[in-house]
Structure 1
Amino acid sequence: MQSNPFVMLIQVIGNLYLFIVLLRMVLQLTRADFYNPISQGVVKATSPFIIPLRKIIPSIGRLDTASLVLALIVQLLTLLLINFAHGVNAQPVQYFIATVVGVLYHLLDLYFWAMLISVILSWVAPGANHPGAMLVAQITAPLYSACQRVIPPLGGLDLSPIFIFLAISFSKQALAFYGFG
C-alpha cells in the first residue's frame, strides 16, 4: 500500500487539533489552572469553535460537553476526509462507531503521554515549577488518587503508575478491535 502525503497531512492536522480539544476538556474536567500559559494557549486555539457550541450545548457538571462535541466533530471530519482521499464510502453507523472509538482512543493517548511525562518528571525534576510540569501534575492527580485509594503507596514506592499504564494499555487494546492502534 503506497503512502499518500495528503492523507498523512490530514491525519497529523486532525489528530493535533483533536489533541488540543481533548486537552481543553481534560483541563476543565480536572480544574487545572486556567491562568497557566499553556492553558491559555489551548483556550485560544479552541475558543472560536467552542464558544458558539456552548450557546446550544450546555455543560453537564464539570464536563464541558461543547468540547466533547467538538472533539467528535473533529474526529468525524478527519475520518471523512481520509476516506474521501482513499475513495472509501462507509455506512453512517460505521462512521459513528469509528468517531466515538477514535475520540476515546485519543483521550487514552493523551492520558498515556501525560502519565509518562509525569513519571519522568518525578525522577528528573520532582516538584518542578514549569507551567507544563504543573499542568501535567494537575491532569494526572485524579488518576493517581483514584488508583492510590485501591493500592496505597508502599513506603516510598508508588505502584499506581504501573497499574494506570496497564489499564490504559488494556483499554487501548480493546479499542484496537475497532481499527485503532
Structure 2
Amino acid sequence: MLLIDILRLLLETAASLLTFCLLLRALMQWVRIHPSNPLSPFIFSMTDWLVKPLRKGVPGYGGIDWASIFGAFVVSFALHIVLVLLTVGLSSGGPGFGSLITLTIPIAIFWVLRNVAYLLMGIVLIQVILSWVNPFSPIASILNELSRPFLEPLRRVLPTIGNVDLSPLVFFLILQIVMMVLQSLMPGF
C-alpha cells in the first residue's frame, strides 16, 4: 500500500504541475501576455507537446486557448483513470470500463476547476507579496497583467483604506466560496 501511495503522490504532483502550466498558458494567452516575457519559454516548453496536437481539433475561440484548457482536462482525466486502476484495479470487484469513464469525467472537471482556483490564488498571492517586497521584478508586471481581469472589477467597487488595496483579500474570499461550493457538489473532492 505504501508503494501505491508514493506512486499516487508522484502522479498527482506531475499532473498538477502540468495542469497548472496548461491553465497558465491559457490565461497568459487570454490576457495577451507578450510571448517574450521570462515565463513564456518555460510554460510553452512544458505544454507544447500536448497543446499543439490538440489545437488541430480544438481551436481557440473568443480569445481563449481552448486546446490548453482541454489539455488540462485530458491530463486530469488520465490521472484519475490511472488512480482508480491503481487503487481498485481491474478485478472483478472493480468498476467496468463504461462506469469508470462515466465516473471519472465529473471528477476530472472538478479537479481542473479546483486547480484554476488554486492557480488564481497563487498568482494573486505572489503578486501581493512582490508588490511589497520587489515591485519592479520582471515577473511582477506579468503577475499584474494576469490578475488584472479578476482584481480590476473589485477595485472599481472597493475603496482603498489607508492606501491598502483590499481587492486581493475579497478575491481570495470569493475563491474560497467557489471552493466550498465545488466541495459540496463533489463530496470527498
Give TM-score scaled by structure 2 length. Answer: 0.87
**1:98 aligned onto 2:107:** yes
Give the match for residue 181 of structure 2. 174
Structure 2 counterparts to residues 37-76 of structure 1, below 5 A: 37-76=38-77
State how many pairs are aligned: 179
CA distance in 2, matches of 1:15, 1:179: 20
What letter matches 1:136 in structure 2? Answer: L
CA distance in 2, matches of 1:179, 1:67: 27
Superposition deviation, residue 18 in structure 1: 0.8
> Do the aligned residues in 2 keep the contact of 1:21 with 1:46 (CA within 8 Å)?
yes
Compared CA separation, residues 113 and 27, structure 1 to 2 (3 A) = same
Compared CA separation, residues 35 and 149, structure 1 to 2 (3 A) = same
Compared CA separation, residues 62 and 180, structure 1 to 2 (3 A) = farther
Q: Percent identity?
A: 27
Superposition deviation, residue 133 in structure 1: 2.3
Gaps in structure 2 of 5+ consecutive residues = 89-93
* SS of residue matched to 1:37: coil
Give the match for residue 91 of structure 2. none
Compared CA separation, residues 21 and 180, structure 1 to 2 (3 A) = farther
Give TM-score scaled by structure 1 length. Answer: 0.90
> Do the aligned residues in 1 keep the contact of 2:55 with 2:67 (CA within 8 Å)?
yes
> Do the aligned residues in 2 keep the contact of 1:54 with 1:66 (CA within 8 Å)?
yes
Structure 2 counterparts to residues 92-171 of structure 1, below 5 A: 92-126=101-135, 128-130=136-138, 132-154=139-161, 156-171=163-178
* SS of residue matched to 1:32: coil
Deviations 1:38-90 (A, max 9, x none): 11210122112111111121111111011111111000011111111101535
CA RMSD of aligned residues (A): 1.9
Gaps in structure 1 of 5+ consecutive residues = none
Deviations 1:110-158 (A, max 9, x none): 00111111111121122x232x222212211111212112224345221
